[in-house]
Structure 1
């Protein structure tokens, strides 16, 4: 009988990843699978490794690619990774040891290092040894130590609460949008990528998300939307428990190297469209209304960037 996959690493791609990136990805040890998802009508680069599953989504767009990849992830846990970011080769062992200690957790938030895309020395630096998760102390927010992460008092596993979705809708974000939100501050997170998730929860959320995208009986996938925040918040909304601790944040050294690029090199994303799906599915949560209202004011800027992006593509 084939052993169940522990960790699925899911990556949307156009096949333009570097040989170095693929080489490093395949250095991940343990019982893992790598799911690479292309969009239609682009050349597929073959990979000679039985752990690699190559798929093609039915439509172009990051949202559909990520959805198809995650839907086909067979691992007990899942990690979404872009095709220019790097993950520690011992991530599977860390995942197994963490969830053995905390079987009720939804997530394991990995320590992420943001690295400039031109800093090859830092990108290619040897990985530090991951601390023994079984021996790490629990670090939590207390009245005596309300901000352990900011104060540097963070050498153990930092407790991560669920997003405070039941925050009240605040009309000020609509009337005075540039004052900046405060209800999104804290140790909770909104994104899905670069975090290890319990796949059982993700699969249940994907089923509901596919229904939420139905418009007039047809499933609509809009290419220039973002899937990262959408799915991260969608899972937390589906299984929301007020003030619940849903996992922990790993300490240094980093387990993810996020390759940072200038905004001009990143494709435009109409995040407000995918954010609106959250409100459509979970209108009872004021936190989501605050998010959408704030992001509406960024639409003109995104439109301008889209026009510029298309012009540069033609050139």
Structure 2
């Protein structure tokens, strides 16, 4: 298996396009850092004198709105107010000012928006890793060897996961280096305030960002798996790339529109890919839980893999 994965990685990194994608990812990070640095140089330092009074005013206003709306308030809005109040009360109690200078950790957090580009590049690799073998006719050379087709397909999929992990590591590492060069480190370690199940807890920014990047990459991995399945089933990399990219940019919005009217929308893939909704927001459909979304993701993953393996194992490539 290791030799198969090594061979697949060699194929990927022999292509100039792979280095172009890595170069584009780094270029986007640099451009983003330059823009934020320019904007930061034009801004003034935050006022840190009366921040407690300001937070208390916001808390009182939020509580007043909750009381006025009563039972008519939607659950999503109620959770938003409760989370906002709880975090601000925690900041006042533990003397954690919300007014902090922009630092390297903040830039790493901002750079998480670039995960979509890492996902785009991963989809391109996933869409071509099987289909290209058929297009170039090299699939026959692979299958004449005494290797089970399922094992070959698993090796290709693991190669896609390794490439996805590499893109995430490059994004996180380079944004960290650039962020601390441009914006420096915070004078005091400011924790991330995590609100979950009605409680506020402190978490180091490093571990928060590791978790955040991991959760944000789930959509990328699921769409790469879908592109891999389409590549294996239809032997068409263009279809796999086009459909996966279309769903990556529009799937969430379409699902949100459906979720506003239909409860069955919770079974749609894109209602469950954003697990951050359970930690920093509100589930897309009322009644959804973290466990439910994990189960749905596993179901979709198994379906994609079964389709890919079934068709790939049954396909006749003798012609």
Normalised TM-score (structure 1): 0.24
Structure holding more strand per residue: 1
| Bigger Rg, which one | 2
TM-score (norm 2): 0.24
